[in-house]
Structure 1
Amino acid sequence: MKTRLLRLSALIALAYAPTIVIAANADATGVTTEPTIGVNNTDAPAASGANNVTNNNANSAPSAAVPVTTTAPISQITVTAGRLDRARNSISVETGSSIYRIGPKEIAALPQGDDTSFNQVLLQAPGVAQDSFGQLHVRGDHANLQYRLNGILLPESISGFGQTLDTRFVNNISFLTGALPAQYGYRTAGVVNVQTKTGEDGNGGDIGVQFGSNHTQEITGDVRGSTDNFSYYINGAFDANDLGIENTTGASTAIHDRTLQNKAFGYFSYILNPDTRVSLILGNSDNRFQIPNIPGQTPTYQLAGAPADYQSADLDERQRETTRYGILALQGSINSQLDYQIAAFSRYTKTSFDPDDIGDLMFTGVASKVVRTGLANGLQADGSYKLNDSHTIRSGVAYTRETLNNSTDALTFPADSDGNQLSTTPFAINESDQKTTDQIGVYLQDEWKLTDKLTMNYGARADWVNAYVKANQFSPRIGFVYQMTPSTTFHAGYAKYFTPPASELIAASTVTNFNGTTNASPSSQNGAVQAESSDYFDAGVNQQLTQHLTLGLDAYYKKVKNLLDEGQFGSALLYTPFNYAQGKIYGLELTLNYHKDNLSAYFNLARATAMGKDIISSQYNFDQAELDYISNHWVHLDHDQRLSASAGMSYLWRGTTYSTDALFGSGLRSGFANTDHLPAYTVVNVGASHVFTESPIGKVTARFNVTNLFDRVYEIRDGTGIGVGAPQYGQRRGFYVAMSKAF
């Protein structure tokens, strides 16, 4: 065991480079007390004093019990850690929000199990629409998600966390949307709080492999354990396949789409005394992508010395993304009345894009090598004080400072005022800048139990940001939960939101530098990107229809000033923020889940509308005709999908779990000013898994699954629309086999 631990610890240490951190709101109490997927819970957690009506068995795929050998010290650690977990969870409040929980049994019941990518797991929640390159849109917002590990905020990475976090180290997920309490700021479309696995359940581990379509080869491993007051969990994964980014054609295989991905994660915890714990989280993700090509394109420009019939299928563009993070956490409880967390965190992120100089110049008139890095360090402190049986006071502060470095080395051709190429010899334009940003937020709130059935959480937060834009806002929040009957719960809330633009996405490019070139912008306007301010209203009901069937309904409306959106305006898979002067987003959500004996099922349906008017920043990325039209018309946002649905079912029969899930989308927007939309699609996946407990090599889990069972050709993007770079298609049918060995 010591040898395995040392080897995996060395892997984490080699993968992690930046500064360390302190934090404190960590993992959940355990799967038996966590509500599960399909539960659109509208209450505060039971630990916080509000009524918590959830179906803890909803949509839980049955699984065989795994015997765990423990000793008295390990059992004592588990009990103490569980009590500290409950105290730590009481710091967070969910009153008035819509809550969707995904537990370990639900992840295991997915056709790909814990081999499912993290963003695909989140697609099982209501109101989530998929986009290309792992992006998710929740309730009509572009990305705008905040990610937390054990309650601690992770600063955004340049590429987002959909490709960074690994499902294998997830114990459970709490997904909050709607009118959020005051402790949640900045990214407010949804809060993804991941409770990580720990080593407090006994010594052991797993090693696994997966292989299948698109030359998929994957090796994973983890190890966990406890000794005295110390526990650890370490995970590592290597993945290689030929479908790293969505295919640019509808073919079964993509051209030039190889990816190599390495991920590592470690959680270490030490109990100082029965009321105090210190923990350390380290994580690393290093992903390399080839950019897939579109065959049959005709060169637009001529390059001296290059063949006129240069093939677009031969382009060799590549992108590399690195994200490293660390969290050092101190958490404790005083007299069972005051719970606190003190956190320091660090995140390093880097994205580099390497062009194909010849091909990019001939097809687009510019070849740009782009490098962006960001190092963020911050502090987070939160506390919860139980004043009396009716009032629980919570407050906190968070501060983040980030240093950003952007550089672009471009080759382009001289051109006349009409954009006609004047020379076949390119020249270089080099741009770079550095920016240090500061972000601080404070909040104060009171959870007031007005009666045995009615709970109100009210408070406010104040935020300041000093980056490419300087802005601040005072944001009141209020939420109610009313337990009308033991089976019926209503919730409602209002939140004032403040959302600054993602500073790491703002490019160093200067519009005038490319005047008189084949890369000249269609517009000379370049208004500064502004922080978004919005008023958000949310209301819903959670109804236990029968002992086995739960229903949730939710409605929301968001009125926005300086609506933030993002677009891909170059060859690199990097997104650039811009603002609409006004925005409005509204919708309805329905969720159902069922669990009885060996059968579990869920169904989610969402209807959403997201619209904006008058682009007021980064206008140089848009044609003047679109700018003129949008200035006088409400237009759909490019990620506005009218209907989204997800469904799944699992059944345990004679020791084998059979599962299926499906996603439906009515199509993202396309065409001039997003006036059109892509065709609707439905994708069905199936899988089967079996645990062999008496194999010659011990306990082995085998899994077989089929992705896109009916081999549907569906287009996520067609290359048109506001801020859309290239066509992208969903994965065609794929077959996968996975095996894991427990030790």
Structure 2
Amino acid sequence: MGRHRLFAAAASAALLSATLVAGSAQAAADKGPEVSEIVVTAQRLDAALQTIEPSLGATAFAMSQSFVTNLPGGANTQLNQVILQAPGVTQDGFGQLHVRGDHANLQYRLNNVILPEGLAVFGQTLSPRLASNIELITGALPAQYGLRTAGIINITTKSGFKTGGEASIYGGGHGVISPSLEYGTTVGANSAFVSASYTDTDVGIESPDGRARPVHDHSQQGQVFGFFDHIIDDSSRLSLILGTSLQTFEIPNTPGLHPDLGLTVRGQTDDLSDGLNERQREGTSYAIATYLKTTDQFTAQASLFARYSTLSFRPDGLGDLLFAGIAQDARKQDAAAGLQAEGVYNLSDAHTLRGGVVVQGDRATSKTSSQVLGLDANGDQIGDTPLTIADQARRTSWTYSVFLQDEWKLADSLTLNYGLRYDALSSFRKEDQLSPRVNLVWTPADGATLHVGYARYFTPPPYELVASETVAKFVGTTAEAPGSANTTPYSERTHYFDIGAQQKFGGVTLGVDAYYKQIKHMLDEGQFGAPIILTPFNYDQGYVKGVELTAAYERGAFSTYANLAASKAQGKDIISSEFNFDPADLAYIAGHYIYVDHDQTYTASAGASYRWGGTRLSGDVLYGSGLRKDGAVPNGGKLDPYTQVNLSVSHGFEDGALKGVSVRADLINAFDEKYLIRDGSGVGVGAPQYGPRRGMFVGLTKAF
């Protein structure tokens, strides 16, 4: 009941806020011309903001609000499902995404401001509902982008410059029920946009056995978001972003299993897996305050950002001990805050200078309490009363970044963007790197663009996930690690090469992009142990290479897109967090390149939408050739390929008593293809996970 009250309170607060703002808007209803002037000023300031951080030379895939609406599920779907429509994005279990062969290494931004990483594993902190545009930026990135470089996911939030909102209810298959509310308005020089949503579902995490409704997989998820903007004058403004999310998950069970470790706990030797009761809770709150100033020659933006996240795992005391030899209660907290200040100066018609600085601090706390059983020198159990091992750690990390670059227009059709970026890490290790960046962009004819680029990247391990557990405490117990070496993870260092071309003619856009990454201390992540918390580790050497093909067409009421990507990612010699791995695997990998567990050779996505009057028909397709699994060597095999088809139909009433009402019906995995995302084998892979089974969902929305 406590969680229900919390979600209800959050939604009520958002509704109250929207109501108060709406009341203020009604009081200012006679100020139409003044509001129009404010909107024009805001649009000009938005355009000035874009000049600070253009993705010149990189590869960008934009997904507008209408793109999201056209997808089956629309704004009710999770953000990771939207991003899967972009080229080179591979799905994994727990909602994880892999872009161009990287495990994670994604940076999320709101209105170009960095949102620090948090502790979420299953939960989605951000919702497509708050976005007016979602852009995935990849390739040889300009110098303003750093630390997380596989992909920049920049979300342009909705604003309150269009007064109005909507309330909706959505649900159907898999026990899903999801109410939501959003509203925006402008009052004088102030605007606001707020949204709130809640989801209750019986499939919170991917099914471990392929069932449409897994055993013990209930989840509750709530999100609240607010954007507030104040126009100071025609050249400056202040804005504030506030958000929070809270998710609770039951860890799903594979029914019909019995323990096979031969352990005894307080006289009991058996426990059916159906009744296991593991749970995980994740929460995140974030805030961003921004000041923007622009003149004819200079534009600058300074932002303060903060994020606080928590993660807790509650085990099944008896069951976890019998099945895994450890029942661990784990609690993690991470608080991050920082400053991002950037600017652009138009030096001349040929040269545009950009520079900036980013400073971020993290404070992480980890506490675990583990129930284990003692073992003698021969590995036999000593007694059946569990031992308690407590472990905790508190640590602080700082990152410092500065960049300077010049956009040099060599000719009307030829631009060179070059610069330097310096990153320093003071954390588990003290590391730094000076990283050159260069991109050449040529537009030989209308609609044609060619680019070639090089970037040096410096990627610290995800600080909040670095294991803090004391390995020696578990020696002589049922939770003793396979090894004892526990080298602290290193920062990844990459040479990145990218070349691509794009051609537009009529309503058609075609693109091709190829890349190669040579990597020192290649980062990866794995799930080790019962708590569903990922742990980073390094391969000493690694590489990723691939090519992406894209196509899009839009004419009138019809639009379509298709993406195809081929990739190969391999690493050699695991050199950190070694205690998690089987010694035989470590010995083999030390002398051989192996596929990383998240490698997928072919990935494709496609979609189409057609609007006829107030009715819209749409669909999308996801294809994957299969992630890796163990074979004759670690990660030597691959799972079977899959194709998931999703369909949607919606209708908006434009006249009469139902004006402002829209209805939709979505069919997810229309052909009910039962496919594995993971089979539970592979380096750093935990339990099996299946893709979603067929589900029918309906929604009703009322605009106001």
In structure 2, do the counterparts of structure 1 residues 519 and 274 end up closer, same or farther at CA, with 3 Å as the change threshold? same
Offset at residue 524 of structure 1 (A): 1.5
Query: Which residue matches 1:151?
Result: 112
Q: Matches of 2:281 and 2:61 in 1, distance apart? A: 33
Offset at residue 160 of structure 1 (A): 5.8
Q: Matches of 2:10 and 2:220 in 1, distance apart? A: 21
- Aligned letter for 1:557? Y
Query: Which residue matches 1:681?
Result: 642
Query: Which residue matches 2:99?
Result: 138
Query: Which residue matches 1:36?
Result: none
- Aligned letter for 2:94? F
Query: Which residue matches 1:713?
Result: 674
Offset at residue 653 of structure 1 (A): 2.1
Question: Superposed, which structure 2 residues align to 1:492-531 within 5 Å?
Answer: 492-531=452-491
Query: Which residue matches 1:308?
Result: 269
SS at match of 2:383: coil
- Aligned letter for 1:257? D
Offset at residue 10 of structure 1 (A): 3.5
Farther-moved stretch of structure 1 (93-102 vs 319-328): 93-102
Offset at residue 573 of structure 1 (A): 1.8
1:73 touches 1:227 (CA, 8 Å); kept in 2?
Answer: no
Q: Matches of 1:513 and 1:565 in 2, distance apart? A: 25
Query: Which residue matches 1:120?
Result: 81
Verify: 1:727 aligned to 2:674, yes or no. no
Q: Matches of 1:289 and 1:9 in 2, distance apart? A: 23
Query: Which residue matches 1:646?
Result: 605
1:175 touches 1:193 (CA, 8 Å); kept in 2?
Answer: yes
Q: List runs of 5+ in structure 1 lacking aligned partners.
A: 1-5, 15-67
1:447 touches 1:455 (CA, 8 Å); kept in 2?
Answer: yes
- Aligned letter for 1:10? A
Query: Which residue matches 1:48?
Result: none
In structure 2, do the counterparts of structure 1 residues 612 and 13 end up closer, same or farther at CA, with 3 Å as the change threshold? farther
In structure 2, do the counterparts of structure 1 residues 304 and 190 end up closer, same or farther at CA, with 3 Å as the change threshold? closer
1:246 touches 1:728 (CA, 8 Å); kept in 2?
Answer: yes
Question: Superposed, which structure 2 residues align to 1:407-418 within 5 Å?
Answer: 407-417=367-377
Query: Which residue matches 1:397?
Result: 357
Offset at residue 7 of structure 1 (A): 9.2
SS at match of 2:585: helix
Query: Which residue matches 1:10?
Result: 13
- Aligned letter for 2:74? G
Question: Superposed, which structure 2 residues align to 1:252-331 within 5 Å?
Answer: 252-299=212-259, 300-305=261-266, 307-331=268-292
Offset at residue 741 of structure 1 (A): 0.5
Q: List runs of 5+ in structure 2 lacking aligned partners.
A: 1-8, 18-28
- Aligned letter for 2:204? G
- Aligned letter for 1:259? S
Q: Matches of 1:500 and 1:519 in 2, distance apart? A: 29
Q: Matches of 2:66 and 2:184 in 1, distance apart? A: 19
Query: Which residue matches 1:380?
Result: 340
Verify: 1:218 aligned to 2:178, yes or no. yes
2:10 touches 2:224 (CA, 8 Å); kept in 1?
Answer: no
1:140 touches 1:610 (CA, 8 Å); kept in 2?
Answer: yes
2:123 touches 2:247 (CA, 8 Å); kept in 1?
Answer: no
- Aligned letter for 1:563? M
Cα distance per residue 1:534-586 (max 9 Å; x no partner): 10000000012x31211100000000000000001122221100000000000
2:614 to 643, 652, 655: 655
Farther-moved stretch of structure 1 (170-179 vs 293-302): 293-302
Query: Which residue matches 2:559?
Result: 600
Query: Which residue matches 1:64?
Result: none
SS at match of 2:318: helix
Query: Which residue matches 1:458?
Result: 418
Offset at residue 693 of structure 1 (A): 2.3
Verify: 1:533 aligned to 2:493, yes or no. yes
1:239 to 199, 205, 212: 199
Offset at residue 310 of structure 1 (A): 1.3
Superposition TM-score, scaled by structure 1 size:
0.90
2:121 touches 2:533 (CA, 8 Å); kept in 1?
Answer: no
Cα distance per residue 1:372-426 (max 9 Å; x no partner): 1011111110000011111110000000111110111000001134543222111
> Higher relative CO (CA 8 A, sep ≥ 6), structure 1 or 2?
1
Offset at residue 69 of structure 1 (A): 11
1:446 to 386, 398, 406: 406
Q: Matches of 1:633 and 1:364 in 2, distance apart? A: 30
Offset at residue 660 of structure 1 (A): 0.5
Offset at residue 273 of structure 1 (A): 0.7
2:353 touches 2:404 (CA, 8 Å); kept in 1?
Answer: yes
1:635 to 570, 594, 610: 594
Offset at residue 333 of structure 1 (A): 0.4
Question: Superposed, which structure 2 residues align to 1:560-571 within 5 Å?
Answer: 560-571=519-530
1:621 to 545, 563, 580: 580
In structure 2, do the counterparts of structure 1 residues 697 and 301 end up closer, same or farther at CA, with 3 Å as the change threshold? farther
1:580 to 533, 539, 546: 539
In structure 2, do the counterparts of structure 1 residues 308 and 99 end up closer, same or farther at CA, with 3 Å as the change threshold? same
Q: Matches of 1:464 and 1:81 in 2, distance apart? A: 36
Cα distance per residue 1:611-670 (max 9 Å; x no partner): 000000001000011001101110000000000000001111242100000100000001
Query: Which residue matches 1:543?
Result: 503
2:265 touches 2:321 (CA, 8 Å); kept in 1?
Answer: no
Q: Matches of 2:681 and 2:649 in 1, distance apart? A: 39
Cα distance per residue 1:36-88 (max 9 Å; x no partner): xxxxxxxxxxxxxxxxxxxxxxxxxxxxxxxx998212211110000000001
- Aligned letter for 1:157? G
Question: Superposed, which structure 2 residues align to 1:425-444 within 5 Å?
Answer: 425-444=385-404
1:12 touches 1:282 (CA, 8 Å); kept in 2?
Answer: no
1:406 touches 1:507 (CA, 8 Å); kept in 2?
Answer: no
Q: Matches of 2:367 and 2:329 in 1, distance apart? A: 8
1:591 touches 1:602 (CA, 8 Å); kept in 2?
Answer: yes
- Aligned letter for 1:451? A
Offset at residue 307 of structure 1 (A): 4.2
SS at match of 2:146: coil
SS at match of 1:464: strand
Q: Matches of 2:430 and 2:476 in 1, distance apart? A: 32
Verify: 1:590 aligned to 2:549, yes or no. yes
2:265 touches 2:322 (CA, 8 Å); kept in 1?
Answer: no
In structure 2, do the counterparts of structure 1 residues 151 and 401 end up closer, same or farther at CA, with 3 Å as the change threshold? same
1:301 touches 1:421 (CA, 8 Å); kept in 2?
Answer: no
- Aligned letter for 2:207? N
Q: Matches of 1:640 and 1:353 in 2, distance apart? A: 28
What is the aligned-residue identity percentage?
45
1:256 touches 1:292 (CA, 8 Å); kept in 2?
Answer: yes
Superposition TM-score, scaled by structure 2 size:
0.95
Q: Matches of 1:438 and 1:7 in 2, distance apart? A: 32
Query: Which residue matches 1:369?
Result: 329
Q: Matches of 2:643 and 2:30 in 1, distance apart? A: 45
2:122 touches 2:205 (CA, 8 Å); kept in 1?
Answer: no
RMSD: 1.7
Offset at residue 297 of structure 1 (A): 1.8
Cα distance per residue 1:132-181 (max 9 Å; x no partner): 11100000000100000001001101126971111100100121100000
Query: Which residue matches 1:78?
Result: 39
Verify: 1:206 aligned to 2:166, yes or no. yes
Q: Matches of 2:381 and 2:671 in 1, distance apart? A: 47
In structure 2, do the counterparts of structure 1 residues 309 and 383 end up closer, same or farther at CA, with 3 Å as the change threshold? same
Q: Matches of 2:461 and 2:379 in 1, distance apart? A: 32
Number of residues of Structure 1 aligned to a counterpart in Structure 2? 682
Cα distance per residue 1:415-467 (max 9 Å; x no partner): 13454322211100000010011111000000011100000110011111111
Query: Which residue matches 2:623?
Result: 664
Q: Matches of 1:170 and 1:148 in 2, distance apart? A: 11
Q: Matches of 2:377 and 2:615 in 1, distance apart? A: 68
In structure 2, do the counterparts of structure 1 residues 697 and 474 end up closer, same or farther at CA, with 3 Å as the change threshold? same
Offset at residue 13 of structure 1 (A): 11
SS at match of 1:425: strand
Q: Matches of 1:484 and 1:9 in 2, distance apart? A: 55
Cα distance per residue 1:330-364 (max 9 Å; x no partner): 00102x11000011011001100000011000100
